[in-house]
Amino acid sequence: MQELLAPWYLWLKAAHVIFVIFWMAGLFMLPRLFVYHQESAPGSPDNALWVDRERRLLRIIMNPAMIVVWVLGIALALGSGAFSQGWLHAKLLIVLGLSGYNGFLSAYAKKLARGERTLSGKSLRLLNEVPGLAAVIIVVLVIVKPF
């Protein structure tokens, strides 16, 4: 498998980083949209606009980017033989957590669309820190490879 992917490795890596940026941008943006959404009056025209914006962000950018990140990341790991390295296991665990976070955000967008506002603005602002913390840890794992 390594021989098959070797000529494409740098292209795969570049595409992986590009789609990570798209996905992370969405992970940072969606909780902020939720804050604004919750400030709009239920049933108002603004509320309907927020529902549409959140749905589009998830369907057009975040979910496809997450899938591409996983596919390219697995291809890169196969192409480099990194599955035997501890740092990759830790990175995969964090990316799995980010994927769950993406699912949580998707579920909360559906709740907001139904008019359910179960989280406070403060909670949503705190949730906005999750992808940043994950990004710091992932970058250190990938660049430093501490184990």
Could you list the residues known to form a binding site for heme, using ranges: 16, 91
Annotated binding residues = 16, 91
Q: Which long-range contacts (CB under 8 A, 24 or more apart) does 124-133 make?
A: 124/31, 124/32, 124/34, 124/35, 124/38, 125/31, 125/35, 127/31, 128/28, 128/31, 128/32, 130/27, 130/98, 130/101, 131/24, 131/27, 131/28, 131/98, 131/101, 132/28
State how far the Cα of 78 lies from the Cα of 8, in Å rounded to an integer.
Answer: 12
